[in-house]
Amino acid sequence: MSPRTGEWTLRRRLLITFVVVGVLTTIVAGLAATALGRTISRNDDLLERVGPARISGYQLEAALLNQETGVRGFVLTEQQDFLQPYYDGQKEQRQYLESLRIRIGDNQKLAQDLDRIDAAIAAWRTQYAEPLIASVRAGQPPNIGDDDEGKVLFDAVRQAITTFQNDLTVVRNEVYDDLETAITTLIVVGILALVGVLIAGVILWRALRSWVLQPLERIGAETKQVVGGALTHKVTVEGPQEINRLAADVDAMRSSLVAALSTAVAAQDRLKEQTDQLAAQTADLQRSNTELEQFAYVASHDLQEPLRKVASFCQMLSRRYSGQLDERGQQYIDFAVDGAKRMQRLINDLLAFSRVGRTTGEFEDISLDSVLDRALTSLGSTIEESDAVVEADSLPRVHGNPILLTQVFQNLIGNAIKFHGMAAPRIRITVEQKGDVYEFVCSDNGIGIEPQYAERVFVIFQRLHGKEQYDGTGIGLAMVRKIIEHHGGRIWLDTEASSGGGTTFRWTLPVPSPTEPVDAQPATTGVGAARTESDA
């Protein structure tokens, strides 16, 4: 049966269905909760009242037997120590009677039984036990008639306890019967609930199939026709109002897709044109890279050859006419030689800078401890001449290029040694893992860098001091930044740490991912707690 347009909405149908099911479920749940509560209550009575009361009754009887035994032992031996069970039994008797009165609650019959037990115990103690103990202490021999009287009194105590246990057994049986009834009720309610759930599930399934699934299947069949190429086929379905609105939305989407199809065709044409432009730009970029490589070759060979000749002939002039030139002439020749050599260094450094990331090899699993060792070996003579001390933490393993990372340590340590103050250079290298990166720190006790030059020091050919004070081309830190960024990290001057004196550089390198064959924990080989000039 297919509902017609204008009938109840799907929301209203489902609401009424769920309300009916909810009411029935609430009734069943109430019955189950009542039966469960009764079961728990009766079970608690057995475990917390009746059972412990029976045990306390047996313990009370044992305490009374201890009292009787103590009295008999004292009468036979006339030794005071034999009365200890008598007095201990009195304490236990009071404890067990108090526990029993708590366990029985408001049960009047059991309370009366306890009163009779208490009275019988008092009678046995006042009429037999205490007088007998007093007569023995006074040195009077016990009377055989008294012993018979004591037996009668103690039998009365036993009878009272037996009556209490029998009445308690009756209460226990009543609780058992009530608990069994509650459990039976709970099982019946559970079965009814299960049957009700199954019936409700069947009803809901048939309702959802009639109200939702079948109309949706018809919408799917209509949509398949559109997907098959019938773009002009209108999607219409008879069903609840929500399903009708869904069919209308699907048809609206069909209309939008038809309208967008023509736009997509035009966009595809524009994309093809842009792809052609991108291919042309890629070709231009490849030509530019080729020209850059040709320039690097020329810079490394052809441009340096005239410089070498200038430097060589100037040196020959200096040796050939030594003593014939005045001081100014010799100074001019020295300037020419120095300028040629500085130009060679600039060309070599610029060439190395341009090659970073292009001709320096692939990344590999490397230990930064071994990288630092190679850098210290290269700086061995400089470290020894300056009496420098280089201390380093145990460094981790990373994924990178060992040659480039060696240049990083070599440049940073070399700068720290070059720009040292009056004291011998002291360089400290530490590392800490922060999330997915390792953060390295290189600090020294040198002359420091002013905060306003924190970015300028990383610009190529930028120098903070004249060549007369410190030699160099001003490309070292620019090279370091390019290498670090090529490895996916960053480097900066820590102006706060440097404010107290010296220079502190910080840089990061990515922690190798678990898929890479790299031990992500810091390595413990190669670099110890400290490296001094003897390490070189």
CA distances from 164 to 96, 171, 187, 189 (A): 13, 11, 34, 37
Residue 65 in contact with residue 90, Cβ under 8 Å? no
Residue 182 in contact with residue 39, Cβ under 8 Å? yes
Distance CA 13, CA 3 (A): 11
Residue 66 inside a domain? The answer is yes
Residue 250 inside a domain? The answer is no
Q: Is the dihedral of CA 440, 443, 449, 451 positive or negative?
A: positive
User: How many helices, marked H, and strands, marked E, lie in the chain?
Assistant: 15, 7
Distance CA 195, CA 198 (A): 5
CA distances from 41 to 50, 118, 292 (A): 12, 30, 91
Residue 307, helix vs strand vs coil: helix
Q: What is the CATH number of the domain that holds 436?
A: 3.30.565.10
Q: Which of 216, 240, 263 is the last residue of a domain?
A: 216
Residue 120 in contact with residue 160, Cβ under 8 Å? yes
Residue 293 inside a domain? The answer is no
Tokens describing residue 261: 């199809």
User: Where in the sequence is the domain holding 374, given as residue range(s)?
Assistant: 362-535
Q: What b-and-e string marks burial along 167-195, b requiring 16 or more CB atoms within 10 Å of the CB?
A: bbeebbeebeebbeebbebbeebeeebee
pTM: 0.40
What does the angle CA 235 – CA 241 – CA 247 come to, to the nearest 5 degrees?
15
Which secondary-structure segment (H or E) carries 416? helix 402-418
What per-residue confidence (pLDDT) applies to 519? Answer: 43
Please write down the long-range contacts of 308-313, taking CB distance under 8 Å and 24 or more positions apart: 308/340, 308/344, 310/336, 310/340, 311/336, 311/337, 311/340, 311/341, 311/344
Q: Which of 216, 237, 257 is the last residue of a domain?
A: 216
Residue 349 in contact with residue 388, Cβ under 8 Å? no
Residue 159 inside a domain? The answer is yes
Residue 222 inside a domain? The answer is no
Residue 446 inside a domain? The answer is yes
**Could you read off the pLDDT tens digit of each residue along the chain, which spans 536 residues?**
444 444 667 777 777 877 877 887 788 778 778 877 777 877 766 666 777 877 877 788 888 888 888 888 887 887 888 888 888 888 888 888 888 888 887 788 888 888 888 888 888 888 888 888 888 888 776 665 556 777 888 888 888 888 888 877 888 887 778 878 878 888 888 888 888 788 878 887 877 777 777 777 777 777 777 777 776 777 777 667 777 777 777 777 777 777 777 677 777 888 888 888 888 887 877 776 666 666 666 655 566 667 666 767 777 776 777 667 677 777 667 667 666 665 655 565 555 555 555 555 578 889 999 999 988 988 888 888 888 889 999 999 998 888 888 988 988 898 888 877 778 889 999 999 988 899 999 988 887 777 776 677 776 655 554 454 445 455 777 888 888 888 889 888 887 866 667 888 899 999 987 765 544 333 333 333 344 333 32
Residue 506 in contact with residue 498, Cβ under 8 Å? no
User: Which residues, in sequence order, are bridge partners of residue 509?
Assistant: 438
Closest CA to 289 of 358, 351, 363: 358
Q: Which of 216, 250, 268 is the last residue of a domain?
A: 216
CA terminus-to-terminus distance, the chain: 93
Residue 304 inside a domain? The answer is no
φ/ψ of residue 362, rounded to 5: -85, 165
Q: What is the CATH number of the domain that holds 51?
A: 1.20.120.1730
Q: What share of the chain is helix, strand, coil (3-state, %, to 5)?
A: 70, 10, 25
> Side chain identity at 315, as an amino acid letter?
Q
Residue 487 in contact with residue 403, Cβ under 8 Å? no
Residue 209, helix vs strand vs coil: helix
What per-residue confidence (pLDDT) applies to 231? Answer: 67
Q: How many CA atoms lie within 13 A of 257 on its CB side?
A: 15
Which secondary-structure segment (H or E) carries 356? none
Count how many domains the chain has. 2
Tokens describing residue 256: 């939008």
Residue 476 inside a domain? The answer is yes
